[in-house]
Homo-oligomer: A and B are copies of this chain.
Amino acid sequence: MSSAPFNFSAGPAMLPAEVMVQAQEEFRNWNHSGISVMEISHRDRAFMDMAAAAEQDLRDLMSIPDNYRVLFMHGGGRGQFSAVPQNIAGPDATVDYLHCGIWSDFAIREAQKYVAQVNVVGATVDTPQGRAISAPETWQRSSAPAYFHYCPNETVDGIALHDIPDVGDVPLVADMSSNILSEPLDVSRFGVIYAGAQKNIGPSGFAIAIVRDDLLGRAQGNTSTIMDYTVQAKDGSMYNTPNTFAWYLSGLVFQWLKRQGGVEAIGRMNHAKANKLYEYIDQSDFYSNPVHPNYRSIMNVPFLLADNRLDGEFLQQAAAAGLVGLKGHRFVGGMRASIYNAMPMAGVDALLDFMRDFEKAKG
């Protein structure tokens, strides 16, 4: 199952091959019911059991402490850009945001609708070794923010903040849409962790929010009820009909990840995959990566050709070789290899082979 095509799409992204085989097999006959998992009530006992098992598997994988609620939400990661300020900050609050890239920027602009003051504490900085994130000691933090928000892995820019910021008692909120479950994480450092599903979890139109329970009960009065953490926590994420197929498929992904050895094992593999790509890019004059070595993503590896007039040819020939989804985000251009959990080493090796051949032919 580790053969072409290899799908480097940034999201919606490839899902584990084993998961897709199982989902196809039981597509019209789930749990020996003779019907599809997407055709039954979310209040059906068998569905509820599956849903609870999926949550437990995620708790096991991330070692989520008991004082955190796991919510399965509508709307993807971007829905959380409004859900976070609406749920855990009052309209008169000040909130702190670290600006790490494009998705941080969108989150900041959305938060401005719901609180009195969005304070940007710091941002990316260009250094001789590439783009980095300003050092914590330079951040202009507020005295009493309702929370501190950052995006530890910027999908478009390929920039990552590998150290968890130390913000004391301020609730730390992280948009982990593109790096959740990619390596071990100390959940207890966070107030809220959220992620759109369509990278390391499952299909799109779905999000997970992991919320420390002391942050419940604070929603602004005009929060849409389907996005209200407190309501969804009370109703087991079934205040309204959830995205049942996404919940099911995410559950299969969690089971698969457990079989791989969990986040420790997948984390070692993810670092190995990323290192291989960065090492090759760094020794090449034909390809380059614009990010400082200490701030490079292990999930999204953007790279530029020295001559961008070859971009179209690169993408065309890569696709012909079964390497798809390599086009960089429309905001930044170039290429991007997204190598989430589901991407096997064989995919990275195939990409490297292609990049070497292309460099040889055109370099």
Contact = CB atoms under 8 A, between A and B. Distances in A.
A14 B35 contact: yes
Contact of A205 (B7, B33, B196, B242): B242
Interface string A10-39: 111111000011011001100001111011
A190 interface: no
Most buried by B among A15, A28, A75, A330: A75
Determine the main DSSP class of A at the interface with B: loop
A225 B108 CA distance: 13
- This chain: copies in complex: 2
A42 to B, nearest CB: 7
A28 B21 CA distance: 8
Given A35-B14, A225-B110, A79 B20 contact: no
Interface stretch (A121-129, A179-187, A243-251, A347-355): A243-251
Interface in A207-227: 221-222, 224-227
Size bracket, chain A contacts: 35 or more
A262 B41 CA distance: 27
A268 interface: no
Interface of A: 4-5, 7, 9-15, 20-21, 23-24, 27-28, 33-36, 38-43, 74-79, 81-83, 86, 110, 113-114, 196, 198, 203-206, 221-222, 224-227, 239-246, 322, 324-325, 330
13 contacts: A15-B39, A20-B27, A24-B27, A35-B324, A40-B325, A41-B325, A74-B76, A74-B205, A78-B239, A83-B224, A204-B244, A205-B206, A243-B243
